[in-house]
Amino acid sequence: MLIKLMRPYTRKAQYYETDQMGIIHHSNYLRWFEEARIDFMEQMGLSYATLEQLGIMIPVLNISCDYKQAVRFNNNILIHSVISSFNGIKMTITYTITDSENKVTYTTGETTHCFLNKSFKPVSLKRDYPDVYVIFNDWIKRKADE
Amino acid sequence: MLIKLMRPYTRKAQYYETDQMGIIHHSNYLRWFEEARIDFMEQMGLSYATLEQLGIMIPVLNISCDYKQAVRFNNNILIHSVISSFNGIKMTITYTITDSENKVTYTTGETTHCFLNKSFKPVSLKRDYPDVYVIFNDWIKRKADE
Amino acid sequence: MLIKLMRPYTRKAQYYETDQMGIIHHSNYLRWFEEARIDFMEQMGLSYATLEQLGIMIPVLNISCDYKQAVRFNNNILIHSVISSFNGIKMTITYTITDSENKVTYTTGETTHCFLNKSFKPVSLKRDYPDVYVIFNDWIKRKADE
Amino acid sequence: MLIKLMRPYTRKAQYYETDQMGIIHHSNYLRWFEEARIDFMEQMGLSYATLEQLGIMIPVLNISCDYKQAVRFNNNILIHSVISSFNGIKMTITYTITDSENKVTYTTGETTHCFLNKSFKPVSLKRDYPDVYVIFNDWIKRKADE
């Protein structure tokens, strides 16, 4: 079987994301993690839109983020996402943001999620959506290629 | 009958709203207009939350905005909202953003709205929600007091 | 002489840009216009970063925006930018946002800008930065190709 | 000596901060932490604007945030900030976001900061800004009153 290769998410830092320190405001990284996560799932075959149509929402339970180096306007960034843990009830994704040219690591972070139905009740993917479960499970700890 | 007095909306410009020019990014003013509009309706007795419970959504059809003077971090602003036109199908609100201390006019703007139900179909307030119609109608061209 | 072709700006509507109406919040379009404008200038050979290094800032004097059709999460959009007027002191850019698949027009808008130096004083590009003037002037009313 | 009492920061959740799940998007909490932090410092006598005039910037080194209960549009929130550690080089602030009416805890979080000069070099407040050092030091672990 062929192992599908995953590409990292690429993105340019926008002007409106800067603040008066002249760097990207730290709140934007959570939005970039979200963009990367959605792209990552889409590459797995689990588009976020489809999941919401199935009635599955994936809210954030907690986040952490280490700002190592400031990103500036117009920097081109790469975001690598890895599912670091998943059990069908909860999932943790870790992110590394690097510069796409000089490979400097800007930021690392982590988001933990649960799976809810439209009434905001927890669902077990293993029991309720086994097809979705299998896909997430298959991607644990697999990294994108550059 | 006593004419109810309306207070303008007050707000501090936030750090995360600045950009690397050292001023508030222009996209934030649309958000401030929204804050002022929601506060204004609440003072009329038409809270936005209540309207959404009635199934009425008030999306923006068009906006315009003149940036006269840059707002900077920590500036205290006042926003005066006036319903400049309303016919139960469409409504236009005009806004003036001034400095609450030195009264400089920072920005003027205008938003035009329609009224939709939850299926995104237009509603006529006069026909479908006469109580709501009467209130909006009563506030046409009335200004807040300072 | 070869006429350089310009490509429109492409973009996906992000989850964090939605609001509880289930559509993209209207304030984001101003940010998309900015993204498109910066990309457009970069294609002209006038990167925004370079302009700021030259000491030229291009703040927004006024904006207007017509929301014709709501953009939703994950929609792929195209933004066509055209310099509709330019005299070295002021510049107006018009934008058309369409769906990259079904070609529906979502939004049209316009931003007017002046040119300032780092002390926030107006500059005349024709007099102070003739090389920059020539480029902008050359692009008046030229459209991107699809 | 009288111990100065500190009031928690109050805030209403805004419409433009919601997403299509119908709840406040998680990235906004970092912005609320910033608002609360700036207000907290202002109450200490250390306005953020003044610190920046002194040439002191206080960027975020890392953040963490636990989302316990979703905040919804129009909820009135209280944010209590506490300096949980401070040594003049680094500072950690913890935040608790509660509902101002029913006292439900929505979110807890933490931000760690360093102190930089305008060239983005670390400063020691104890050595370089002893007056500022004394104030921060005096507020370690002191809580706001309700």
Chain D partners of C29 at a C-beta cutoff of 8 Å? Answer: none
Which residue did the predictor score with more confidence, C5 or A39?
A39
Chain B residue with CA closest to D74: the answer is B49
Whether the predicted pLDDT of C146 surpasses 70: no
CB-based contact C61 B60, cutoff 8 Å: no
The complex scores an ipTM of: 0.92
Confidence of residue A49 (pLDDT cuts 50, 70, 90): confident
CB-based contact A18 B22, cutoff 8 Å: no
Indicate the helix (H) or strand (E) that contains C98.
Answer: strand C90-99
Which residue did the predictor score with more confidence, A34 or C143?
A34
pLDDT at residue B1 in the model:
42
For A106-118, the three-class secondary structure string (H helix, E strand, C coil) is: EEEEEEEEECECC
Confidence of residue C48 (pLDDT cuts 50, 70, 90): confident
pLDDT at residue D146 in the model:
46
Nearest to D114 by CA among D54, D56, D27, D31: D56
Cα separation, B90 vs B61, whole angstroms: 9
Condensed to tens digits (0 to 9), the pLDDT of residues B29-57 reads 999 999 999 999 999 999 977 887 899 99
Both structure tokens of B19? 């950009």
Please enumerate in sequence order all residues whose Cβ is within 8 A of that of C44, keeping only pairs 6 or more positions apart, or say none. Answer: C6, C135, C136, C139
Both structure tokens of A26? 């730290």
Whether the predicted pLDDT of B146 surpasses 50: no
* Sequence letter at residue A58: I
Quick one: average pLDDT of B56-75? 96
Condensed to tens digits (0 to 9), the pLDDT of residues D43-68 reads 999 997 788 789 999 999 999 999 99
Identify the chains in contact with B, defined as 3+ C-beta pairs within 8 A.
Answer: A, C, D
Return the number of other C-beta atoms located less than 10 Å from residue D121's C-beta.
8
Nearest to D81 by CA among D62, D109, D58: D109
Condensed to tens digits (0 to 9), the pLDDT of residues C89-137 reads 999 999 999 999 999 999 999 999 999 998 989 999 999 999 999 999 9
In this structure, which CATH number among 3.40.50.12280, 3.10.129.10, 1.10.1490.10, 3.30.70.330 belongs to the domain A9-138? 3.10.129.10
Condensed to tens digits (0 to 9), the pLDDT of residues B69-115 reads 999 999 999 999 999 999 999 999 999 999 999 999 999 999 999 99
Chain D partners of A34 at a C-beta cutoff of 8 Å? Answer: 27
Identify the chains in contact with C, defined as 3+ C-beta pairs within 8 A.
Answer: A, B, D
pLDDT at residue A146 in the model:
46
Sheet holding C60-67, edge to edge: B9-12, B76-86, B90-99, B105-114, B60-67, C60-67, C105-114, C90-99, C76-86, C9-12
Q: Where are the domains of chain A?
A: 9-138
Q: Give chain B's contact residues with C (Cβ, < 8 Å).
A: 21, 23, 26-28, 30-31, 34, 57, 59-67, 70, 120
The conformation of residue A140, written as its DSSP 8-state character, comes to B
Chain A residue with CA closest to B19: the answer is A19
CA trace torsion A31, A33, A34, A39 (10° rounding): 130
Rounded (5°) CA angle B45-B76-D99: 55
Both structure tokens of D5? 């009492």
Tally B–D CB contacts below 8 A: 29
Chain D partners of B47 at a C-beta cutoff of 8 Å? Answer: 74
Whether the predicted pLDDT of D2 surpasses 70: no
Cα separation, D6 vs C137, whole angstroms: 57
Both structure tokens of A52? 């919401």
**pTM, rounded to two decimals:** 0.94
Chain A residue with CA closest to B25: the answer is A16
pLDDT at residue A4 in the model:
62
Looking at chain D, the whole-number percentage of residues with pLDDT higher than 70 is: 95
Cα separation, A36 vs A32, whole angstroms: 6
Confidence of residue D3 (pLDDT cuts 50, 70, 90): low
Distance from CA of B4 to the nearest CA of C (A): 31
- Yes or no: say if D133 and D126 are a contact pair by the CB < 8 Å rule: yes
